[in-house]
Amino acid sequence: MCLAAIPVLSQEKQEPGQEAAPAAPVAKPTGPKAGATPSAAVMEQRDLQTAIERAGNDRATLMRNLLDYLKKYPESTQRPQIYRAIVESSMQLRDFATASEYAERMVALNPGDISINVLSVQLIERYGDSAGWRRATNYCTRVLEIIQRESVNEKSPRLSGEQFEKDKQHDAAAILLVRGRLFQKLNEPQNAQRDFEQSYLLAPGAPAAERLGELAELRKDLPTAIHQYALAFALADGRPNSVSRTDARKKLGNVWRLAHGSEDGLGDYALRTYDEAAAAGSTRQVRNRGVKDPSEFVLRKVADGTPFPLASTKGKVLVMNFWATWCGPCREWEPHFEKVADQLAGQEPDVVFLQVNCDEDETLVGPYLAEEKPKTSVLFADGLDVLLQVNSFPTTLILDRSGKIAYRAEGFDPAWLDQTLIDAINRTLHPVEGAAPAGANASQ
């Protein structure tokens, strides 16, 4: 095999009863000559082929069969592909313990792969224990070393040298932030402090400032806690998965009252801190500030950062899936959205499908997409989620030809599948005069 078959594992995204996508052909082992005994390699490949075929479209059976196969062939040459398949299937099944275990096994096989290290860290941070958190700090350190070794000679020709260096700084800041959170979990405040400070220096942002405020508050350093919480309040950008400005305001108010007995003077201090943050020139660019019409937004393609003006879709029906890497239901909904997009691509030229990512930490998106491999265009939200009041994930929106919201569906319900979205698109494409909006929960 070449687990050539591992595209077969993309079937784990299908729901029961859904028609399976045709599997990639699996290389048939060359049989021995008549009367000859099959070699160990041929038997191993046959057993793997059988494990995959017997699973059909059942994710749980596929994972169980692959785990049994590994017990029989623990040194299989197909381990990298099998481990990846187990990680993908177990995440779909929300068996995060198994996903974490086999992500780490992938790291052991290929320690220099940044995306695998980051995936493992994400899983361990959310679902691991103290021993796992310790290992995850080591993975973060390895990723930082790889980033530091990256040479401008290796950059994409699409990037300028200046942008390449900025991206390196942003990536390093994101990993330092994660490692700092892990040190917090391990009750190592000095290491956490160091990482949060370095992260903020590389890419000033609300998450690092808030964490520094928490550490200062724990050690009763109220002036520093006030300053850091004020920075977090000033830098919070209102995105759904960013630092909550409301929470930052509460923390700031609490420590201010502890230090001063009341909130007198807090407003002036917060404004001065905002001016300080603006003057320092936070590396986070607030994009599309003040834009009120979706068609005037210019988003960025995740793949290479090139601009994608929504004006290019004007006059068409725009179908958008808003999602984030940490959102489990987003993983469940994504293959359905992809299937609808693929089905209508050649039939309805006036429909545009977009996947819109809303992660605050954009460095997490690349590794995620390397796993999921969506076919539709993937863009960063760049404030469009705020304008359209996307408050939960996934959220599917349809904008009609005039740019108004014709349909909104929040979350993922297994009962709400492909045909529901197709019907909503068709009603938006061909509205009936006097008819209700495309969906029961549509909004304008």
Which residues does the annotation mark as catalytic?
Answer: 327, 330
Query: Strand 351-357 vs strand 317-323: parallel, antiparallel, or unpaired?
Result: parallel
Which residues, at least 6 apart from 252, have a Cβ–Cβ distance to it below 8 Å?
A: 213, 226, 229, 230, 232, 233, 266, 270
Interatomic CA distance for residues 374 and 306, integer angstroms: 18
Interatomic CA distance for residues 444 and 10, integer angstroms: 36
Question: Across-strand partners of 309?
Answer: 298
Interatomic CA distance for residues 54 and 65, integer angstroms: 8
Q: Pull the structure tokens for residue 124.
A: 């361990």
- Asked if 358 contacts 381 with a C-beta cutoff of 8 angstroms, the reply is yes
- Asked if 136 contacts 107 with a C-beta cutoff of 8 angstroms, the reply is no
Interatomic CA distance for residues 140 and 175, integer angstroms: 6
Is the backbone of residue 128 left (phi > 0), alpha (psi -120 to 50) or beta?
beta
- Asked if 143 contacts 114 with a C-beta cutoff of 8 angstroms, the reply is yes
- Asked if 411 contacts 424 with a C-beta cutoff of 8 angstroms, the reply is no
